[in-house]
Amino acid sequence: MRIDGRHRDELRPMAVTRNFIKHAQGSVLIEVGDTRVICTAMIEEKVPPFLKGQKQGWVTAEYEMLPASTNTRKSRDRNRGKIDGRTMEIQRLIGRSLRSVIDLSKLGERTIWIDCDVIQADGGTRTSAITGAFIALHDALTGMVKNGQIKEMPVTSFVAATSVGIHQGEPLVDLCYEEDSNAEVDMNMVMTEKGEIIEIQGTGEERPFNKEELAKLLSLGEESIKQIIDFQKETLLG
Q: Extract the annotated binding site for phosphate.
A: 86, 124-126
C-alpha distances (whole Å) from 43 to each of 23, 52, 65, 110, 139 are 11, 16, 23, 7, 12
Rounding to the nearest 10 degrees, give the CA dihedral for residues 105, 111, 112, 114.
Answer: 130
Would strands 170-173 and 197-204 be described as parallel, antiparallel, or unpaired?
unpaired
Q: Cite the annotated binding site by residue number.
A: 86, 124-126
Q: How far is Cα 172 from Cα 8, in angstroms, rounded to an integer? A: 5
How many CB atoms within 10 Å of residue 71?
Answer: 9
Q: At what angle do helices 125-146 and 211-237 cross, to 10 degrees?
A: 30
**Distance between the two ends of the chain, CA-based, in angstroms?**
33
Look up residue 95 and give its amino acid: G
